[in-house]
């Protein structure tokens, strides 16, 4: 059973739709520059340009490992968004993905005191509505 996603929308745009479509299939995709092979963050793309080499050719969507390490995190104890209140303290994590780019997410299956620099992580998908499946991260097995 799925209910309507109560949290703010991840802001799906035409540029980032392939990422969110893949997430519905439980696949974690990145954009790879066809010019230089640079991997881009898949959810902050606002234009077809490679920030590394300047190529204007649309990037290629490729399946990524979904693995990475803790670059940093914070455990949030106060929020003004009621949709997060039940989860306090929740963990915002910046994951350094194996392929290079960083990805902002939340932790699953971890307490604040478990968090360590460079701790290995892996993606986990949660279907939050018929339209949206959100990738989160958990400690790698």
Partner 1 sequence: MSQKECAIVGLGYTPQGKCPDWSVRELFLEASVNAIKDAGMKPHDIDGILVELCWTDPTTQNWSLQMDLGIPELSLSAVYDSMGASPGCQMQVAQWAIQNGICKNVLCAFVEKSATAPAVPYRMSAGPGLAYGLHGAMHGIALAAMRHKMLYGTTSEQLGEVAVTFRKHAQLNPKAQMYGKPMTLADHQNSRIIAEPLHLFDCCLVSDGGRAAVITSGDRAKDCPQPPVYIMGYGQGHVKMDLIERNTLVDTGAGVSGAHAFRTAGIQHKDIDVLGLYDATTHNIITQLEELGFCERGEGGPFVENGRLSIDGEFPTNLSGGMLSETYLQGWTGIPEIVSQLRGHCGDRQVKDAKIGLVTNQGGYIAFHSTLILRR
Strands 29-32 and 60-63: antiparallel
| CA atoms lying within 13 Å on the CB side of residue 55 | 17
- In the bound state with partner 1, the residue whose beta carbon lies nearer, of 27 and 96, is 96
Beta bridge partners of 5: none
Binding residues for partner 1, per CB under 8 A? 7-11, 41, 43-46, 51, 71-81, 84, 87, 89-90, 92, 94, 101-106, 112, 116-117, 134
CB of 22 to partner 1, least distance (A): 14
CB of 114 to partner 1, least distance (A): 13
CB of 6 to partner 1, least distance (A): 11
Separation of alpha carbons 14 and 18, rounded Å: 8
- In the bound state with partner 1, the residue whose beta carbon lies nearer, of 57 and 116, is 116
Separation of alpha carbons 124 and 141, rounded Å: 12
- In the bound state with partner 1, the residue whose beta carbon lies nearer, of 49 and 94, is 94
The CA-based angle 94-98-100, given to 5 degrees, is: 70
- In the bound state with partner 1, the residue whose beta carbon lies nearer, of 37 and 89, is 89
Give the three-state DSSP class for 70: strand
């Amino acid at each position: 059973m799925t209910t309507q996603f109560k949290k703010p929308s991840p802001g799906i745009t035409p540029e980032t739709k392939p990422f969110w479509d893949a997430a519905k299939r439980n696949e974690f995709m990145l954009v790879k520059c066809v010019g230089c092979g640079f991997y881009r963050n898949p959810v902050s793309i606002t234009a077809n340009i490679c920030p590394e080499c300047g190529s204007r050719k649309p990037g290629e969507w490729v399946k990524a490992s979904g693995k990475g390490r803790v670059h940093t995190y914070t455990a949030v104890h106060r929020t003004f968004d009621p949709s997060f209140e039940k989860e306090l303290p929740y963990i915002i994590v910046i994951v350094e993905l194996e392929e290079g780019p960083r990805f902002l997410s939340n932790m699953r299956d971890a307490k604040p005191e478990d968090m360590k620099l460079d701790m290995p992580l892996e993606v986990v998908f949660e279907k939050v509505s018929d339209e949206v499946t959100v990738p989160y991260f958990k400690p790698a097995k």
